[in-house]
Structure 1
Amino acid sequence: MQTNNRILAIDFARGLSVVLMILVHTMLVYGDAATRNESVLGQVVHILGQGAPMFLVSMGISFVFSRKQSFRGSLKRGGIILLAGYTMNILKFIVPTLFFGGLPVPFVEAYGMTYGDPSNMVFFLLLGDILQLAGLTLILMAFIVRFSKSKYVPLVLALLIVMVSSELRGYRPGIVGLDYICDLLWGATYQVYFPMFPWSAFILIGLFFGMWFREKGSDQAFLFKSMLVVGLGLLTVGVLMCLYDFTYHFGDYYHLGPGGSLGLMGLNLVALWAVNLLTTHVKTNRAFKFLYYCSRNVTSLYITQWVLINWGMSVFGFWGHQGVVVLSLMLLFLLLSLSLVYLKNNYRTLLMSQKNPESLSKST
């Protein structure tokens, strides 16, 4: 099923991934150690929280059908997303520091910093998140598509990035500025959560499938069957590599080795195949429409939820809550994020309805 060049399974997956990320981020910021690491809620949220890779693969596929796929348009989009990432950092960290009495002491110390040190502001301003990864990878994809029409270029590049990530991880030449760029590329610390090596590989594998899909005349059955076959292969190889040497091949979630990257990539390709089964065989309903709405507003929702969650530390503290309270906060931040994005998208209509309610009723 395809509407207006959109693949509903991709929209579903992208919308679901941003909703799951809101739940995960709330847990990470507000849950105490026992809730995060030992409770059933914590385990379920951590499993569901593997939504970021699905979002990245979906992003790569969607790039092929973007209306702004021109070289200049792609570069502009990448730059805008990069700017959005650093603007989000200002809203998340700098605004609370200046206007809300500062970030909680345990939060700052969790990053290994001394509370009150002025250099903390620079650290948080430059913190690398999924938006920095997306912006930089969009720029990379602009060059790939500009100079090659072969679907195998992003595939080979993705596999190369996966294989060399652990070898490059943490390398810095010791030059101010250049060190930060290296951190964005293959950093080993938590100033950059999603370094391009290996995470850009997830977007590039999506680009490969998107180009293959277009090459096959937009055959969705072929696309998702191919995802299943390739995904199972990658998952098997990745699991075997991790069993051989878990420390090297997995490391930690944010700094995956080759086996962990391939396994997680394969798992998410299989998940996308399963999502397509769902959207193909289940009639569109309110839940589906809700996720499609979230997909259309994914960037706004992502920025809004992070800003609200960080600002909420001024009210609810950091790392101090258990099950029922954490669940309540998840629902609160989900509803607040959706409400603010809705108001942003519809404020002109709502404003007009306040000024002239009769005209609004006539239009409906």
Structure 2
Amino acid sequence: MEQQSNRIAALDLIKGMSVIGMVIIHTLLTFADVKSQSETFIGSFIVFLGRGTSIFLICMGLTFMTSRHQSLKSSVKRGGLLLIAALLMNFLKFIFPVIFGFAPDNFIQRYGWHGPIEQQYLYLMLLGDILQLAGMSLLFIGFIRKYVTNKYGILAVGILIALVSREVSGINIDIPVVNYVLDLLFNNDFPAYVYFPVFPWMSFIIIGMFFGKWYQELYYNRAQLFQKMLYAGFLFVVLGAPLVFIYGDYNYNGFYHMGPGGVIYFAGWTLIFLWLLFKISENVKENKFIKLLKYCSKNLTSMYMIQWILISWGKGIFGFRDNDISIVLMLIALYIVLTFSVQILLDSLKIKKQASKEVQILN
């Protein structure tokens, strides 16, 4: 009961909202044509929402510090399982439709790739997304939690990773398996494209760990924690803004592979936003929508995989980046319903399996 009381309801709501948000964002990015993504208000707003990855990562780091899974062994095991899940998801997203003949003809051609088809599908199979980042990060942050006991030491590690991220980007050696691991760490674009390399994106998780440690030292006082986040957020914005807007080539260089200034700047706005959501959540009573968000938070990983697989399969039906915004809005509603339906179906199968085991034990 004590562990449960230390949970921050606002973080569960944020993670729950991220589940619904990612269905909206991924549906738009997959099915909307370029005009709908960039020249309509709705499309531009949804693309903007897609820049909220740092919110999820800071929440991940904070809850990691206060979770029941405190052992280093547990962290490494969970990291390995996430990496396996990520490869399985990529197989079902990209290779499964090819095997059964419902992949869109224009999907690979849209990327302008050349060379053997097998190499192109290997590229897709190894593509690095948020699951790969979470899995790789768990292999490291367990050591940080165990051996770095001072909260400012934890923060220093996170800032250091951001500071060296541009310098280590592109490190590789000509050994395929090793090179893929280096790809996930440093993004050298071979043999796969990695959207969220560990350097610098793990910095956000470690910043969250810093606040998780602070939360423990504050004896789990939520109000004080989020007040500290607000002050730190303003400080980070002040420090990061000049780096991004004056020296942007090095410190930002695009959303997915930002430099140290970008990390500090985005972390600052994220912390301010988390404080705002906390203040809102304090005045929201339990209702069906809140219960729905908590359900999403509880099943975040599985729903992430479900929605991506379903959306990828849908390219064979609805095309790839061929639809206007009105069609995309209908597809968003469809995929929200489908994602929840599959998750509920999986839950019911788990319940039936558990009930069957209990019956066998009784017999």
TM-score, with length taken from structure 2: 0.92
Q: How many residues align?
A: 351
Aligned partner of 1:358 in structure 2 is: none
- Comparing 333-342 with 232-241, greater Cα deviation is found at 232-241
- Which secondary structure state, in structure 1, belongs to the residue aligned with residue 176 of structure 2? coil
Structure 1: 5+ residue stretches without partners: 354-364
Structure 1 residue 261, shift from structure 2 partner: 1.4
Tell me the distance in 2 between the aligned counterparts of 1:250 and 1:111. 24
| C-alpha deviation, 1:151, in angstroms | 1.7
- Amino acid in structure 1 at the alignment position of 2:33: D
Tell me if structure 1 keeps the 8 A contact 2:244–2:261.
yes
Q: Which moved more, 1:181-190 or 1:307-316?
A: 181-190
Residues 15-74 of structure 1: CA deviation (Å, up to 9, x unaligned): 111211111111111010001111101111022222321111111111122222211111
TM-superposition CA deviations, 1:192-231 (whole Å, max 9, x none): 1100011101111111100110111101111100111111
Counterpart code for 2:305? I
CA contact (8 A) 1:21 1:52 kept: no
2:361 maps to none
In the alignment, is the contact (CA less than 8 A) between 1:128 and 1:193 conserved in 2? yes
Q: Per the alignment, do residues 163 and 106 of structure 1 end up closer, same or farther by CA in structure 2, a change over 3 Å counting?
A: farther
How many percent identity over aligned positions?
39
Q: Residues of 1 paired with 2:320 and 2:149: CA distance?
A: 48
C-alpha contact (below 8 Å) 1:301/1:337 kept by paired residues: yes
* Greater displacement, 53-62 / 343-352: 343-352
* Correspondence for 2:183: 183
Secondary structure of 2:328's partner?
A: helix
Give the structure 1 partner of residue 170 of structure 2: 170
Q: Per-residue deviation at 1:296?
A: 0.7
Query: Aligned ranges for residues 329-344 of structure 1 at < 5 Å?
Result: 329-344=331-346
- What is the CA–CA distance in structure 2 between the aligned matches of 1:269 and 1:162, rounded to whole Å? 17
State whether residues 20 and 51 of structure 1, in contact with CA within 8 Å, keep that contact through their aligned partners in structure 2: no
Aligned counterpart for 1:242 among listed residues 226, 241, 244:
244
> Alpha-carbon deviation of 1:332?
0.8
Matched residue type, 2:240: G
Give 5+ residue unaligned stretches, structure 2: 356-363
Seen in structure 2, the aligned counterparts of structure 1 residues 105 and 160 have a Cα distance that, compared at 3 Å, is: farther
Q: Are positions 1:54 and 2:83 aligned together?
A: no
Shift of 1:349: 4.8
What's the offset of the Cα at 1:154? Answer: 2.3
* Counterpart selection for 1:261 from 251, 260, 263: 263
1:18–1:51 CA contact under 8 A, matched in 2? no
Amino acid of the residue matched to residue 233 of structure 2?
G
Q: Distance in 2 between matches of 1:138 and 1:323?
A: 38
Matched, 1:194 2:196: yes
Corresponding residue of 1:362? none
Cα shift at 1:115: 8.1
Deviations 1:233-268 (A, max 9, x none): 112222211111222221111111222211111111
Match of 2:318 among 316, 333, 341: 316
- Aligned partner of 2:114: which letter? T
Give the corresponding residue for 1:134: 134
Query: Structure 1: how far apart are the matches of 2:174 and 2:241?
Result: 36
| 1:215-230 equivalent positions in 2, closer than 5 A | 215-230=217-232
Aligned amino acid, residue 291 of structure 1: L
Pick closer, same or farther for the CA change 1:167–1:110 going to 2, 3 Å: farther
How much does 1:153 deviate? 2.8
Contact (CA 8 Å) 2:172, 2:188: kept in 1 or not?
A: no
CA contact (8 A) 1:108 1:114 kept: no
Does the 8 Å contact 1:188/1:255 carry over to 2?
no
Task: Write the distance in 2 (CA, Å) between the matches of 1:68 and 1:162.
Answer: 26
TM-score (norm 1): 0.91
Greater Cα offset, 219-228 or 3-12? 3-12
Residue 4 of structure 1 deviates from its aligned partner by 3.5
Residue 31 of structure 1: aligned partner: 32
In structure 2, how many angstroms separate the alpha carbons of the residues matched to 1:351 and 1:196? 37
- Counting only pairs closer than 5 Å after superposition, residues 293-308 of structure 1 correspond to structure 2 as 293-308=295-310
Between the aligned partners of 2:284 and 2:97, the Cα distance in structure 1 is: 44
**Equivalents in 2 of 1:212, 1:238: separation in Å?**
22
Which residue identity is paired with 2:152? Y
Deviating more after overlay: 115-124 vs 212-221: 115-124
Q: Could you tell me which residue of structure 1 aligns to residue 89 of structure 2? A: 88
